[in-house]
Amino acid sequence: MDPKYFSLISKVFFLGIRTFSLLMCLAIPGLIMSIDGKTAQVDFGGGTSRDIDVTLVNVKVGQYVLVHAGFAIEVLEKEDALETIRVWQEVLGYEREES
């Protein structure tokens, strides 16, 4: 494995992404756009948004959450969420370069 790629993966892991298995299950940060009962519209950037179950967290519009398997599992501080998103973009950009 390319050491640069491993370094990027390590950054993602240690910056607060709650990883259950490095290769299988990741929680992705997203921004709460609206809430309707037990679900919220979450913006993941790049034109991607989804309805997510928010019953596990106490969240408000404008907050960032970690989403795993369709559930918001943790509320994030804005700074932490933006740094995690930045690192994800770096990792994904590196993977595109390698393809």
Indicate the pLDDT class of residue 85, thresholds 50, 70 and 90. confident
pLDDT for 58: 96
The residue range of the domain holding 83 is: 3-98
Q: Of 17 and 25, which is predicted with more confidence?
A: 25
Express the helix, strand and coil content of the chain in percent, nearest 5 each. Answer: 35, 35, 30
What does the pLDDT average to over 41-47? 91
pLDDT for 21: 41
CATH number at residue 41: 2.30.30.140
Structure tokens at 66: 């970690």
Alpha-carbon distance of 6 to 10, in angstroms, equals: 6
What does the pLDDT average to over 85-90? 84
Structure tokens at 87: 């690192």
What does the pLDDT average to over 48-73? 95
Alpha-carbon distance of 40 to 50, in angstroms, equals: 8
Give the number of domains in the chain.
1
